[in-house]
Structure 1
Amino acid sequence: MTSFIDGLAGVRTIEDQLIAHDAAKFPGTGSVRHTAIGAVFASGNRKLEVFNVNRTAIEHALGVDLLYLNEPFEAWTMVQYKCMERAKDTPEASAVYRPDERFDAELGRMIEFRNTTEDQWQIANGKSTYRLSGDGFFFKLCSRTQLEVLSEALLPGMYLAREHVQAVLADPAALGPRGGRQITFENTARHLSNTLFAELLRDGWIGTRGVSSAQVADIVGTSLSAGRAVVVARARPVGAPANPMGTLAELDL
């Protein structure tokens, strides 16, 4: 099936559209059923629920646009989206993001959460709570101009852990020719791809744990109880009891 945008060289997007796209996609899934606020995906014997309701109390509390909850591991993974700019007819690798006051405020909320809720995992807490990273906070940087406008995959870009972003910005290489801060594919040195991020998320290698998970769940639950919208993606085995916070959309992984 064709679309009017098939004939366009690229589409200039806003951040909300990037979030909406990725909230309805997940790699390696076998089927999808779209809902009014997200999508239901299926593959294997696990489910993942995905919803796009950014600009809510959750973003104001945690500084993120999209939340994933891997229920078997009780792991919350939280993502803030940012648009990268690039000159016309230049490759995606030349895109740049310049942090602003809004970015600083969002990063500040993440840091504040971590300062008040430390990740205190110990070996005695058990193997199910082991993570490669227990922080839970990520940024996804995508080019504002999207060339593959009809792609069924997650949007091209790079996932960066919150602490990685802080390390990038602390490096002199993050300063542009006029002294402003910038994040590029070059000065980050490395990043998580869509595929790697999805695999780590699905298998519980990243995301919060213990007290941190309980605190995030409380923030989300309070928001939902107050009738406020929130972006939530929750993974759980097929047939498992629904979380008391409610179901928004589901994906079998």
Structure 2
Amino acid sequence: MPPIEDQYPPARALWIPEIGFLLHVKADRLNELEDALQTREICSQGIPEISVALRRKWMLCFVSTDGRSLSHVARSVVYYAAESGRDKLDIWNLTSLKAPVRISAIKRKLEGAQIWRARRALDAGGTISAKAFEQMMDALKRVDSSAHKIASGLISRKQPPPATGPINARMNWAYQRDAAMTALEIAGIPKERLKAAAQLNGANLTDTTSIFDDDRSMRAMEDVLILRDLEKGDRDWNYVKSQQYPARTFENGDTKLTIVLANKMDLEKQLGVDLIYVNETLGAVVFVQYKMFEGEDGKDGYRPDAQLDKEIARMDRAAAELAKVDVDETCDGYRFCPDPFFLKFCTRLLEHDEKGHVPGAYVTLDYWKRLALDPRTRGEKGGKILYPETLGRRYLTPSTFTHLVSRGWVGTSALQARILIPFIKDAMKGKKGIVLAVESKVPTDPDDVEARRRTRMPPKPRYPGKRAKIIQL
């Protein structure tokens, strides 16, 4: 299992479970859940329907595969129904105990009034009431102190220190970092290559603070060849090449990813987006606009405003231009949907402290327009409001989104990508921190004889007999 800090719980830093939960699953199903957490932030398990009053309550979940002992502990919560007559238990930070703990031993050590409730919960499984949960934790401590320490380690009672610095500057930093992390994951480049704090606090922050400001490997725009590669010989790019925009190039094998933090370009005035990802290999361009849910864990929702209307209008204008391009009927030009614009709704943008991207939900612009007209987004006073649970299961997780983009299943067609260059050229000005990430293959030096030999004679596989995993970028 990945360490706790590498997983992305959609919970506040202050995490105190109100009740407990005993989950009985088969050993092979537990292995599936562990495998799922290797690539996703959260895994889910269908359970019998619980009381509506217990939904959205944090639960410390104990896992048993044999019905006689506890082997794992995790954070969990129930938000939605899974299917008819069942609920969906969301699980994260799944951690194994050093040694299984016998349930019968815990039952013998129970103390206090109404311990029959705790015993019944341990026998039947499912939710454990607040009082029974407290008794169970005390008994677990007397039975196995190491197991109690692991379980208690998932409980966070310490309030994080208040963030400092202008709110707009901190949001700008968070958008930049998440967009850069997303681009790295799409390109298959280890996220550890980017040395940038998840959150930046300080009184001297400005709206143009860049995540590359303290990076010694930052390169000026005139050193980045990617824009010249987009349209060679175009004199309109000359003024762009002379600007000192923060940029960083990452290389991994034959993949080259150039990330430009366009602090001095207001691309949003042209496209209404925060992230532009260009997959040159497949000719697919994807646009992402970030939106943040308000309140702890997004409980106050997101209210569409006039700013979103302006951003959508800009995206619509760009889409109208793209619609003028001939249909790409090639195999490489095939896309699941013709909409290259996405909205990412984040629940904890300014509280995120993990190494990877910010948890969130991706939806296409076309789907958002439908959802905005649906009664489920109507607030109590008639206004529009979106809660995390409003999306249900109709959204793309960050892992799913990065896979679709990296394989060219979403985004513009190759023919449409050509029409985007004028938009980018016209938008190379402004002060908003927008990330432009352009991916390309590292060109081979024609004078490098050794490189040509490596091209003809690939290296021996690391695992002979095992088919190598191929990722099309």
C-alpha separation in 1, matches of 2:282 and 2:161 = 39
1:194 is aligned to 398
RMSD: 3.1
1:32 is aligned to 193
**1:8-32 Cα deviation digits (max 9, x unpaired):** 6377665312212113313352362
Q: % of aligned pairs identical?
A: 27
Q: Which runs of 5+ in 1 are unaligned?
A: 242-251
| TM-score, length of structure 2 as denominator length | 0.44
Kindly indicate whether residue 334 of structure 2 is the aligned counterpart of residue 173 of structure 1.
no
| TM-score, length of structure 1 as denominator length | 0.77
1:140 match: secondary structure: strand
Greater RCO structure (CA 8 Å; 6+ sep):
1
C-alpha separation in 2, matches of 1:161 and 1:11 = 34
C-alpha separation in 2, matches of 1:39 and 1:22 = 15
C-alpha separation in 2, matches of 1:23 and 1:73 = 20
2:79 is aligned to none
CA contact (8 A) 2:271 2:318 kept: yes
5 Å-filtered alignment, 1:96-115, equals 96-115=301-320
Kindly indicate whether residue 244 of structure 2 is the aligned counterpart of residue 83 of structure 1.
no
Residues 194-203 or 139-148, more deviating: 139-148
Kindly indicate whether residue 412 of structure 2 is the aligned counterpart of residue 208 of structure 1.
yes
TM-superposed deviation, 1:210: 4.3
1:51 is aligned to 260
Aligned equivalent of 1:9, options 151, 160, 178: 160
2:176 is aligned to 20
The 3 A distance-change label for structure 1 pair 197 and 54 is: farther
CA contact (8 A) 2:258 2:439 kept: yes
C-alpha separation in 2, matches of 1:162 and 1:55 = 26
The 3 A distance-change label for structure 1 pair 211 and 82 is: same
CA contact (8 A) 2:288 2:341 kept: yes
C-alpha separation in 1, matches of 2:337 and 2:193 = 29
5 Å-filtered alignment, 1:146-157, equals 146-149=350-353, 151-157=354-360
Q: Which runs of 5+ in 2 are unaligned?
A: 1-12, 14-157, 195-214, 219-245, 446-471
1:246 is aligned to none
1:108 match: secondary structure: helix
2:204 is aligned to none
Higher-Rg structure is 2
5 Å-filtered alignment, 1:96-135, equals 96-118=301-323, 122=327, 125-135=329-339
The 3 A distance-change label for structure 1 pair 108 and 11 is: farther
1:129 match: secondary structure: coil
TM-superposed deviation, 1:38: 5.0
